[in-house]
Amino acid sequence: MENETQNPESTFSKAEFNSYVKTALEQIKKINEAHKELLEGTPEKDAVVDEINAVLEKLSAGYTDLFVEGATGISKIGELNTKRDEIIAFHKEMLLGDGTTKSIKADVEESQEKITEFYVYLFGGSTTPGVEKSVREAIDKIVKFHDELVSEEGYEADVINAHAVITKS
């Protein structure tokens, strides 16, 4: 047994042993400081674990708020999906109608038909003449009457000057 302890391959010198111990203690001190910073924090900064737990609590609350059924028996996501389905149904009803109400599409088609009828009435179709000429003549007469009405010697001026003309005579 005495020979085993004196084997040069398995022995350390006191200086080497002290060096290993000193290095190990420095590493343990660094590990301890990192451990304190993670779990306890520093005067300048909260513990990292506390920050992580706070974030996890917020995420959990958000998840619960969105996905877990509440007192109404439906989650927020469920409510949003229901609202979205109602909006889709409403838009579909607007576009296609519901049997009692005309759809937007039907209103647009009806308007297109009326515009086409008016166009044919005004400008004529392939077999019928339009009334454009008579409409233009009527517009020209209206414009001419307006000019006569508001001109310097027009009807409006006569009405305005009527009092002076009557009292002059």
Give me the residue spans of the domains in the chain.
13-68
Q: Which residue matches tokens 């001026």?
A: 157
Burial class (CB in 10 A: 0-12, 13-18, 19+), 78: middle
User: What residues does 129 pair with on adjacent strands?
Assistant: 124
Q: Count of residues for the chain?
A: 169
Q: Is the CA virtual torsion 38, 44, 50, 51 positive or negative?
A: negative
Q: Which of 169, 168, 150 is nearest to 160 (CA)?
A: 150
What value, to the nearest 5°, has the Cα angle with vertex 37 and ends 32 and 41?
135
The pLDDT of residue 6 = 55
How is residue 75 annotated by DSSP? -
pLDDT, tens digit, for every residue of 90-145?
Answer: 888 888 887 787 788 888 899 999 999 998 988 888 888 888 889 999 999 999 99
Range list of β-strands (E), 29-111: none
pLDDT of 81 > 80? The answer is yes
Residues of the chain above pLDDT 70, percent: 93
How is residue 129 annotated by DSSP? B
